[in-house]
Structure 1
Amino acid sequence: MYMTLSDISFSEFIKDFKQALNHLFHEQEDINLLSQERGLPPSVLKGIMDMQPLSVAIPKEYGGRGSIVKECLGVLSAASYESLPLSLTFGINIALFLEPISKYADEGVRKEIFDRFLEQQNMGGLMITEPSYGSDALNMKTLNREIDGGYHIEGTKHWQGLTGMADYWLIASRKELANGDLGRDIDFFICDTAQPKQQIVVEEYYDNPGLYMIPYGLNKVDVNVPANYKLNPESTGIKMMLDILHRSRMQFPGMGMGFITRMLDEAITHCRERIVGNCNLLGIDQVQFQLSRMQSAYTICSAMCARSCEISGIEHNLAMEGLDANAMKAVVTDLMQESAQLLVQLSGSKGYRTSHIGGRGIMDSRPFQIFEGSNEMLYAQIAEMVTRPMKKQKLNNLFDFLKDFKATAQSCEYFRKELSFNIGENLSQRKLVDLGRVLGRVICIGYVLMLEEKGFRKDLVENCITTVRQEVASILTAFHFDNTVKVVEDYSDNSSWMAFA
């Protein structure tokens, strides 16, 4: 009897995948050396893709494992334990291409795409960002116009992961109107670079200082695609884009999970083996504090993954779920960067090398705080999502609002003392960012409490809550401090120290 991918249990599938990664990165090659080179050797990439990791994001009726969130996050986590760039490669393919294809592509084009992913190791990416319009996606200038039998798409995109490497692209653009202006809505089109008149010209490859495995660059788009290569939104294209981006942000915990676990494992191992005087580093109080912060990150990320499994499947429309999506993305990427920084600090001089997982991890995790919405922007949005309904309800006290707010009703009790204050009328942007940092962490403690109810170990939960309470108290000290300082642009006048020495 013929066995399909979905007939193999996920525990067996992920076990084989982890073993393959271990063999490729630690026996056949040395990942510490590979990570200092651009790209991956073809033999290593083939060995990885032979395990068909992207099958987790392909529906069962097309030969995949079924687009189950738990499996998608499991693959991302397994990959990021060994290589964060590899996990991001999978994340781009899963959240920014395969899942949108499953949900919004014409049924007539899905089969060929999924077949090529399963049988020919194809890859796909998403083009939204433009040189002059980063997070301001609604003002993008890439245009589409109807032509005989399809659409012509023209514009410039950049910072697309897998530049020059992807076989397929989803390209975001705006419709060209009769008067030459561009429509307000966003359209998405599939581009198959193997087809005539669908090649993307790479005008420049960027010298990204981390994520060496993934090529980024400047792309010239001037392609013709068939009519059925246009994605079909459930309502508007903008809501489709939000659904795609929010689902992607809810998969960041999968990439963060393996990475944070690896940082924590490496740190504990090093501190156990490193002897200073007559004891190891674990006997030092400050080291215990640093390790406890990494372990708190592990707990929060675990809870995020469990929550994402409940709410982010393609059967859900996430266009209006910005609060969860922003909180997950911003908080987990802050935790990833902090965990890498802590590992390097604990490792001493040997950690500050690109051949060390910690030193490399600092550079590889840093852009996660920037792409798909910078964390400062997302935190400000979180704060606005809370303060806006507060104003409508004419409530000033933050705790009084949060105790009845679904996302924080359970968790805010742990922060009653810190959150019992009145919010001012017009918060500055810097205050909104601070408030968003606090709210994001309170929301995440809600996820942790949900995970505890399912049986997650209590000591990790208690430690995590204590750690986050301290962090929230620290952020709120900055929030309450009156700081309206602005930059002095002509600062060089009368400010050279040499004139006063």
Structure 2
Amino acid sequence: MKESYSAFIDRFGKRLHDLFHYESNINELSISRGLPDEVWNKIMELKPLSVAIPEEFGGRGAQVKECLGILSAASYESLPLSLTFGINIALFLEPLAKYGNPEIQNSIFDRFINHQAMGGLMITEPDFGSDALNMRTQYVEQEHDYQLEGQKHWQGLTGMADFWIIAARKKLVSGDLARDVEFFVTDNSKKEQQIQVENYFNNLGLYMIPYGLNTIDLTVPRNQKLLQKSTGIKMMLDILHRSRLQFPGMGMGFIQRMLDEAMSHCINRKVGGQQLLNLDSVQYQLSRIQSSYSLCSGMCAHSSTMSGIENDLSGEGLEANSMKALVTDLMQESAQICVQLSGSSGYKIDHVAGRGIVDSRPFQIFEGSNEMLYTQIAEIVIKQMKKSKESNLANFMLTTAYANRVTPLFRKHLDFTVVDGLVQRQMVVLGKIIARLVCLQYVDVMTDKGFRKDLLDNCTKHMEMDVKKLLSDFLDYNNAKPIVEYQLDSNWMDFI
């Protein structure tokens, strides 16, 4: 009989806490490269990745709620550990469950459940980061297999994962590469499928996770090609959007930890004979983290309803980008506030908040930099506005399913015409505004089901403040540009 999820996640959380705080010291583990094998083994003995494996293969059923729950429980203790799980879940196990050839699924899933295997996804290349559609990794179809050649870099779990899903483009007879993208599963236990690690990077944070440069020169059997349902590009969007929709799981535990640490410090710390908590500015800062907690909670609840592998998410860019970009901004802000409130003790790499600043920072960059994602959000909405022949932002947002409930609260701020010819810096700001409306609505919907109304009210106050500040940047934007040859006539010593 399958263990109930509440019992499973409670057992996992308690064991992780004991492992990191009594049997080992997470503060020491987090500042050394990698984790000792004995620690990894004890973590993986809990079978955390079973949440992303279908029941017919011995897993817990690949339910989004459970996947987000395991990510949250892990990130409360260790953000790098949660990211490790996130890579495995969203970038390998779920794509394999949805698109993998049935001939290979059973054996691979068995190795994850019973032999502590791990897997990841390779898309990014040295010359093609966000420009993934121009990747140069190529494949040639042969009689019984596919031959792949190319380079990939900045893949989490470099040299550590047992399996990889590799993105490549078909090499045509002309020597050119096809426009579409295909995906292939590799098994590192087989010599002809091994990936060569050229070198490891000294990543600034996330020490637990190895990153590096990989050279691909291998062959895989025909049944290790993922089975696309339409085009490879749509499959890639489905995979990436599903991954972005699960970022709130990693953000949830992390933001809650920042809130708990900051709150505890401000209650116990005395300044001038009174609690730090009594200072008005401190209350404001704590309420900012708490607002992030509420927003992330709403994102998790909504993601659980719509990001399962049974759904095609290739067209869900607005919600996927809104969640990923906003929650990662909130993670970084929460860590910054926690460090500020913690005083000098927070400015240590072995302090959970100080470490959190460095570890959460790349979340704003990988899987699409936030500036790019906010721009895409604005582009999606502007395209929808033109299609509906509505140029007033407030009027349009009132008609949308993703923001119609909260838009009345912001109507006076959004009552303006969106004109053609916006510059990119305006598009980024517009995307930030829309993302806040979209995610606040998730909290509003959740409140109907019993989520605390006072948390929603405080969250709404902060989002209104954010929107007003952002609108000043949007409507009266700063058009400053860098002066490339700035050295001439700019040395201050010449003017004394």
What TM-score, normalized by structure 1, do the two folds share? Answer: 0.98
| Aligned equivalent of 2:275 | 280
Q: Distance in 1 between matches of 2:478 and 2:88?
A: 43
Q: Which runs of 5+ in 1 are unaligned?
A: none
Which residue does the alignment assign to 1:105?
A: 100
Secondary structure at 1:180 match in 2: coil
Offset of 1:483 from its aligned partner? 2.2
User: 1:270-296 CA deviation, whole Å, 9 max, x = no partner?
Assistant: 000110002011110000000000000
Task: Give the counterpart of 1:409 among 404, 408, 421.
Answer: 404
State the secondary structure of the residue aligned to 1:224: strand
Which residue does 2:144 correspond to in 1?
149
Structure 1 Cα separation of the partners of residues 64 and 458 of structure 2: 28
Deviations 1:352-401 (A, max 9, x none): 00110000000000000000000000000000111112123332211011
Q: One-letter code of the match for 1:49?
A: M
Kindly report which structure 2 residues correspond to 1:107-146, keeping only aligned pairs within 5 A, or say none: 107-146=102-141
Cα deviation code 1:414-469 (max 9, x no counterpart):
11111111112110011000000000001111101111011101100101001110
Residue in structure 2 matched with residue 328 of structure 1 by the alignment: 323
Residue matched to 1:40: 35
- The equivalent of 1:183 in structure 2 is 178
Please give the alpha-carbon distance, in whole angstroms, between the structure 2 residues aligned to 1:196 and 1:37. Answer: 30
The answer to whether the aligner puts 1:448 opposite 2:443 as a matched pair is yes
Give 4+ residue runs of structure 1 displaced > 3 Å after superposition. none
Corresponding residue SS for 2:191:
coil
1:481 aligned to 2:489?
no
Query: Structure 1 residue 22: deviation in Å?
Result: 0.9
Residues 1:77 and 2:72 are matched in the alignment: yes
Distance in 1 (CA, whole Å) between partners of 2:191 and 2:486 is 55
Structure 2 counterpart of 1:96: 91
Distance 2:79 2:406 in 1: 31
* Distance in 2 of aligned mates of 1:452 and 1:319: 29
The CA distance in 2 between the partners of 1:468 and 1:279, in whole Å, is 30
Any unmatched runs of 5+ in structure 2?
none
> Residue 222 of structure 1: SS of its match in structure 2?
strand
How far is the alpha carbon of 1:181 from its aligned partner?
0.3
Matching residue of 1:397: 392
Q: Could you tell me how far apart the structure 2 residues matched to 1:81 and 1:278 are?
A: 32
Aligned with 1:55 (options 50, 54, 57): 50
User: Contact between 2:156 and 2:211, CA under 8 Å: does it hold in 1?
Assistant: yes
Distance in 2, matches of 1:27 and 1:71, equals: 26
Superposed displacement of residue 20, structure 1: 1.1
Q: Which amino acid aligns with 1:406?
A: A
Residue 407 of structure 1, CA deviation: 1.1
For 2:129 and 2:76, the matched residues in 1 are separated by 30
Partner Cα distance (2:344, 2:191) in 1: 52
Q: Which moved more, 1:473-482 or 1:42-51?
A: 473-482
Q: Is the 8 A contact 2:426 2:477 kept in 1?
A: no
Identity of aligned residues (%): 59
Cα distance in 2 for partners of 1:156, 1:106 equals 25
Give how far 1:486 is off: 1.3
Q: Say if 2:269 and 2:275, in contact at 8 Å, map to a contact too.
A: yes
Q: Which residue of 1 aligns with 2:218?
A: 223
2:57–2:106: 8 Å Cα contact kept in structure 1? yes
Q: Which amino acid aligns with 1:20?
A: R
8 Å contact from structure 2 (residues 398, 405) kept in 1:
yes
3-state SS of 1:171 partner: strand
Q: Structure 2 matches for 1:319-398, cutoff 5 A?
A: 319-398=314-393
Asked if residue 428 in structure 1 is aligned to residue 423 in structure 2, the reply is yes
1:462 equivalent in alignment to 2:457? yes
Equivalent residue for 2:62? 67
**Separation in 2, partners of 1:417, 1:281:** 36
1:206 pairs with one of 201, 217, 220: 201
Query: What is the distance in 1 between the residues matched to 2:36 and 2:411?
Result: 54
Q: Does the CA contact (< 8 Å) of 1:191 and 1:229 recur in 2?
A: yes
SS of 2:288's equivalent in the other structure is: helix
1:442 aligned counterpart, secondary structure: helix
CA distance in 2, matches of 1:34, 1:484: 45
For residue 203 of structure 1, give the secondary structure of its aligned residue in structure 2: strand
1:165-176 equivalences under 5 Å are: 165-176=160-171
1:298 aligned to which of 293, 298, 307: 293
The CA deviation string for residues 271-325 of structure 1, in whole angstroms up to 9 with x for no partner, is 0011000201111000000000000000000000000000000010100000110
3-state SS, counterpart of residue 192 of structure 2? coil
* Paired position in structure 1 for 2:5: 10
Preserved contact between residue 163 and residue 188 of structure 2 (Cα < 8 Å): yes
CA offset at residue 148 of structure 1? Answer: 2.7
* Distance in 1 separating the partners of 2:21 and 2:13: 12
Match of 1:497 in 2: 492
Q: Is the 8 A contact 1:69 1:309 kept in 2?
A: yes
CA displacement 1:143-172 (0-9 Å, x = unmatched): 000123110000000000000000000000
**TM-fit CA distance, 1:480:** 1.3
2:59 partner SS = coil
* 1:20–1:47 CA contact under 8 A, matched in 2: no
Question: What SS does the aligned partner of 2:140 have?
Answer: strand
Instruction: Give the C-alpha shift of residue 409 in structure 1.
Output: 1.0
Aligned length: 496
Secondary structure of the residue aligned to 1:163 is coil
Distance 2:86 2:104 in 1: 22
Distance 1:264 1:155 in 2: 44
Match of 1:316 in 2: 311
- Matched residue of 2:193: which SS? coil
